[in-house]
Amino acid sequence: MAIIVNLDVMLAKRKMQLQELSEEVGITISNLSNLKTGKAKAIRFSTLNAICEALDCQPGDILEFKEE
């Protein structure tokens, strides 16, 4: 099982840079980069909520499940 993070897709759709999202959400660029590249093992609901608010999207727009 694999959870795919489509943060880069949503950033592109919203024409937003990682730096801008970092400032708006209050998360370091390093942590957002880890999330974006799939290196993060977990995400807090409060963080997911803040990202969704900043990108005006749903959690399903960022996270996707794919069977391996």
What are the pLDDT digits (tens) for 25-65? 999 999 999 999 989 999 999 999 999 999 999 999 999 99
CB–CB of 4/67 below 8 Å? Answer: no
Per-residue confidence band for 67, with pLDDT thresholds at 50, 70 and 90: confident
For residue 1, the model assigns a pLDDT of 55
Per-residue confidence band for 68, with pLDDT thresholds at 50, 70 and 90: confident
Closest CA relative to residue 55, chosen from 6, 3, 16, 5: 16
For residue 19, the model assigns a pLDDT of 96
CB–CB of 50/7 below 8 Å? Answer: no
Which residues, including other chains, have CB under 8 Å from residue 41's CB and lie 6 or more apart? Answer: none
Q: Report, as an integer, the average pLDDT of 5-10.
A: 95
Q: Select from 1.10.260.40, 2.60.40.10, 2.40.50.100, 3.40.50.2300 the CATH code of 2-66.
A: 1.10.260.40
Can you read off the two tokens belonging to residue 21? 């999202």
CA angle 7, 63, 60 (to 5 degrees): 110
